Amino acid sequence: MRTTIQLDDQLLLEAKKHAAQTGRTLKAVIEDALREALARTEAARPQTRVPLKTFKGRGVQPGVDLEILRLSSTR
């Protein structure tokens, strides 16, 4: 996909130099840098903790079909 972005002149020069030194295209250097930045953002995202409710009881009571409950919750 083609798009236009404005980059800081010095940053663009450094990216071009890096591309030339590594034998890659400017496009590849920018794509890889963006992928790495997005991956770091995803990895840094805090994990959501879900509190689990517990209770005392005697387990599943006769006549309760957990399979039906599981199937109805997927709809």
User: What distance in Å separates the CA atoms of residue 71 and residue 67, rounded to the nearest whole number?
Assistant: 6
pLDDT of residue 40: 87
Predicted TM-score (pTM) of the model is 0.55
Exposure on the CB side of residue 28, measured as CA atoms within 13 A: 9
DSSP H or E stretch at residue 27: helix 26-44
pLDDT digits (tens, 9 = 90+) for 46-75: 777 877 777 777 777 788 777 876 666 665
d(CA 66, CA 63): 10
Q: Are 22 and 29 in contact (CB under 8 A)?
A: yes
Residue 48, pLDDT score: 79
